[in-house]
Each structure stands twice: as C-alpha cells, then as structure tokens.
Structure 1
Amino acid sequence: MTQATKLIDALNGTFGCHKSFRASHAKGFTVSGRFIPAQTNAGVQIPLLQSEQPVAARFSVGGGKPGISDKSPTVRGIGLMIGGASEVWSLALISAPVFFANSAQQFVDFLAARAPDPEIGGPNPEKVKAFNTANPNTVPHQEYLKSTSPCRCYSTERYHSGHAYGFSIDNASVAARLVLEPTAGRTGLTPEELAVFPDDFLRDAMTLKLADGPVCWVLKLIVANAADEVRDPTVPWDGEHREIVLGTIEIEDLDDGKESQLRVFDPAHLAKGVDAPGDKVFALRSAAYAESKSRRTE
C-alpha cells in the first residue's frame, strides 16, 4: 500500500467516502480572476509574476464532508492556479498559519484519533487528548482554530502556505512562506452571527460581494529569519519578518463549469524561480491529490 493510499484511506475513515467529492476540502466552489503584479518585485526572480496572469481558484471548507457547516471550526482553503497554457503556478493555501501534521504517519494518526466512536457518535475526547499529548507540535494548529472565529466571507479570510518555498531575492537564496492578505481585512463571525447564520452561507456571501466588483488579496512572501524552522510546517514563525509584495489576486466571477470543478490544485506545479519546500508533507501532496482524484472520477 502506497503512502498516498494510506492518506486518502485515513481521510475516508474519518469523514466517510463521498462519491464524486474530494477526500479533503470536499465542500467548495470554483471562481476565476487575475493576478496583477506589484509595481516593484523587490528583487524576487519569478518571471511568471512579472506580468498580468489569469487565475483559476477554488474556495473550500476543510474536512472531507460535503455537507459540513460553513460555521464549523475548521480551516478554510483556497486553491490557486496562476498562469496560462505556457506556465502555471499552483498553490493550496489554508486559513491556519501552520499545519496539523509534519509527516505521513502523524497525518494518519491525527485523523485516526478523531475518527467517529460508535458509542459516542463523534471523536473520543480521550483519544484526542492522548494524541495531542504525544504530538505537541500539532497543537498550535488546533489552538489557532479554537481561538479564531470562522470567516464571515471567503473574501475576509487570510490564507497561508504553511510550507516554506525557496526563492532568489537579490541573487540570494532564501526561504519564505506565502500569505494572501485580504484587502478588506480579516473578519470573523460574531457569537450572535454564529448562532443565526445558516450552515450554507459562504457561497451566497461571495456572490453578493462579487456583484459589487472584484474581491482582492495581496500576495506576499514572509521571509524566514535565521532561527525559523523551514522544514516543518507545523511550527509557527514568531516575531517580525520581512514581507515582500508579489502582487494582487483579484477574483472576479463564479466559475461552475465541469472542467473548473475537476481541477486539481497540486502545488507540485511550481513557477520558474520557485523551489519546492523541503518538508515531508509537501512531498506527499502530489500523489495524494492524484489518488483522491482517481477515486472521485471512477
């Protein structure tokens, strides 16, 4: 059994098998827009981002349940494809600054601890507690979600790469994480809104926003400091960091075509000038995405 099979089996074991849906981030919708480069690239050598590019994207709620509530305390995601026929940079970003696992085994064990207990009807709190105690590096991800209210709209969410990519800046090799910063600011639901909002509101909220014009994010590099851990996406980076603006992502329209819905936002598709992260989770992604797609298109 391959690692990709184990990962998708673990997702299906926790969230169930749902025909035609992704194993992770099952609930979502696709959109289109464009990338507009920054007026200055601050010495970052990524040729693709020196000119305006088309963008295909997908917003999603974390987890493998297509019917999950839009108010659920899990991550929100955005898959991005920047570019066209000649070159595409694909990204998969989430609302939490760090991941919940740093290896295939930890990924599987994290999900196993949260698999529904038939006697309880949900995850067994003792199993979750035991896992957290044995895997303290996974706790920052969980604490962020517990302390951060779900977004009011995908347009008011901040998205993070988690992975540290390699870049050439002023002819020096550096590691940096990526952030999409909403120009409208990050806004979460109030306690009153959490109580009264329906379980399916995020698509309608985005539709209303787009009726007034494009929604925008600034795409930034957060450059690693010397003490930062760049090979473990579960570790937060603390303190001040150099930020470099690459440009703006503008989402302009909903795009529900069949081709759009079948897209796989596999971050192994890198732009020239971008080096793959060196962590173990990134190395798992491409094969796991392919396994998930093969199951939902069977």
Structure 2
Amino acid sequence: MSGAEELIDALNGTFGHHAGYRASHAKGFSVRGRFIPASGGGEAQIPLLQSEQQVVARFSVGGGKPAISDKSPTVRGIGLEIGQNAEKWAMALISNPVFFANSAEQFKAFLAARVADPATGAPDPAKVKAFNDANPNTVPHQAYLKSVAPCRCYSAEQYHSGHAYHFGTSEGVLAARILLEPEGGRHGLTDEEKKDLPDDFLYDRLLRELSNRPARWTLKLVVANDADDISDPTVPWDGVHGELILGTVQIELPDDRAESVAKVFDPSHLPEGVAEPHDNVFALRSPAYAVSVARRSS
C-alpha cells in the first residue's frame, strides 16, 4: 500500500467512505469568475498574473462527511484555479492560518485520535488529549477553530495557504504564505445565527449575494520575516510581515459544469515565478488527491 493510500484510508477511517465524494472537504460546490491583476502588475514576477484570467473555484466545509453542518467548528476551504490549459495556478486554501499536521505520520495519528467511539458517537476526549500532549505543534490549529466562529458566508472568510511558497521579485527570491482577504472583512456567525440557521445555508447565502454583486478577495502574499518557520505549516507566524498584492479574485456565478464539479485543485500545478514549498506536507498532496479521485466512483 502506498503512503497516499494510507492517508486516504485515515480520512475514510475517521469520516467514512462516501462514494462519489472527496475524502476531504466532501461538502462543497463550484463557482467561477476572474482574476484581475493589481495595478502595475504587482511586485511578484508571475507572468500569468500580469493579465486578466478566468477563475474556477470550489468552496467547501472541512472533513469527509457530505452532510456535515455548515455551522460546524471546522475549517472552510476554497480550491482555486487561476488560468487554464498548461499555464495555470491551482491552490488549496483553508480558513485556518495553519495546518493540523506536519508529516504523514502526524496526519494519520491526528485522525486516528478522532475516530468516533461507537458508544458515544464522538471522539474519545482522553485519546484527543493524549495526542495533543504528544504533539503540541498541532494545538494552534485546534485552538483557532475553538476561538473563531465559523464564517457567516464564504464571501466573509479569509483563506490561507499554510505552506510557504517561494516567489521571484525584483529584490530576489522571498518566502511567503498566500492569503485571500475578503473585500468586506471576515465575519463569523453570531450566537443567534448558530441557533437559528439551518445546517445547509452557505450555498444559498452566497448565491443571494452573487445575485446582487460579485464576491471579491484581495490575493496577497504574506512575506516571511527572519523569525518565521517556512518549513513547518503547523507553526503560526508572529510579528510584523510585509505584504505583496497580486490582484483581485472575483467570484461571479455558480458553476455546475461537469468539468468544474470534478476538478481537482492540486497545488502542485504552479505557474512560472512560483516555486513549491519546502515542507513535509506539500509533497503528500498530489498523490493523495489522485487516490481520492480514483475512489470517488468506487
């Protein structure tokens, strides 16, 4: 069995295997729009982003359960593809600034600790605590989810890469994490909304917003400072950071085209001017996505 298969087995072991759905971020829907370059083309030397490009994206709720509540305290995600054909940039971004694991073994152990106890239907708190105590680097991810209310709409969420990519600029190569910053700022659900909203509200709420105007985010790079760890996506970055604005991601319409619904947002598809992260998680993603795709129809 390959390492990628073991990762998907870990997801299926925690959330179940649901034919036709992704092993992770099973609940979601596709949209489309366009990328609008920053005035002057931005400081990063990425030829793809020097002109307007088509965008296909998929919003999702974290986890492998297709019927998960839109109010659940887990991450929200956006799979984003800018451009088309050979020259494109695919991203898989989440609402949490950091990941929950920095290796394949930690990924599997994190999920194993959260397999539901048949007697209670919920994870065993003692197993979760034991894992956290043994893996303190995973706690910032969990702490963020406990302290920040789920978004009130996909358009009111920030999305982060976790990984630190490498970019060419006029000043040389720099390391930076990717951030999608919503035009109207981030807004979480109120206590009243958590109580009153149905479990499936995110799709309808975004479509209502899109019927009035597009949803927009600023696509930017958060540049690592000298103290930042650029090889561990579980580690939060502290202190002052420079930012480079790449442009605007504008989502305009829902997208139910078959090729969009089935699209895999594999972040190994990088354009000229962007180099892959140097961490232990990034290399796991592409082969794991391939296994997940193969299992959707089984």
TM-score (norm 1): 0.99
Q: Deviations over 1:30-75 (max 9, x none)?
A: 0000000001344311000000000000000000000000000000
Q: In the alignment, what sits opposite 2:271?
A: 271
Matches of 1:64 and 1:247 in 2, distance apart?
32
Report runs of 4+ in structure 1 exceeding 3 Å deviation. Answer: none
Q: In the alignment, what sits opposite 2:92?
A: 92
Task: Give the partner amino acid of 2:214.
Answer: P
Instruction: Structure 2 unaligned segments of length 5 or more: list them.
Output: none
Matches of 2:93 and 2:220 in 1, distance apart?
13
Q: In the alignment, what sits opposite 1:175?
A: 175
Task: Give the partner amino acid of 1:30.
Answer: S
Q: Deviations over 1:180-230 (max 9, x none)?
A: 000011000001110111000000001100000110000000000011000
Matches within 5 A, 1:62-81: 62-81=62-81
Matches of 1:87 and 1:257 in 2, distance apart?
21
- Pairwise CA distance, 1:19: 0.4
Q: Which stretch of structure 1 is more off in the superposition, 171-180 or 125-134?
A: 171-180
- Pairwise CA distance, 1:297: 3.0
- Pairwise CA distance, 1:171: 4.2
The percentage of aligned residue pairs carrying the same residue is 65
Q: In the alignment, what sits opposite 2:140?
A: 140
Task: Give the partner amino acid of 2:156.
Answer: T
Matches of 1:2 and 1:78 in 2, distance apart?
27
- The 8 Å contact of residues 57 and 78 in structure 1, kept in 2 or not, is answered as yes
Q: For this pair of structures, how many residues does the alignment match?
A: 298
Q: In the alignment, what sits opposite 1:241?
A: 241
Q: In the alignment, what sits opposite 1:114?
A: 114
Q: Deviations over 1:83-121 (max 9, x none)?
A: 022411000000000000000000000000000111222
Instruction: Structure 1 unaligned segments of length 5 or more: list them.
Output: none
Matches within 5 A, 1:183-262: 183-262=183-262
- The 8 Å contact of residues 41 and 245 in structure 1, kept in 2 or not, is answered as no
Matches of 2:46 and 2:182 in 1, distance apart?
22
SS of residue matched to 2:216: strand
Q: In the alignment, what sits opposite 2:10?
A: 10
Task: Give the partner amino acid of 1:164.
Answer: A
Matches of 1:76 and 1:126 in 2, distance apart?
26
- The 8 Å contact of residues 43 and 244 in structure 2, kept in 1 or not, is answered as no
Task: Give the partner amino acid of 1:215.
Answer: A
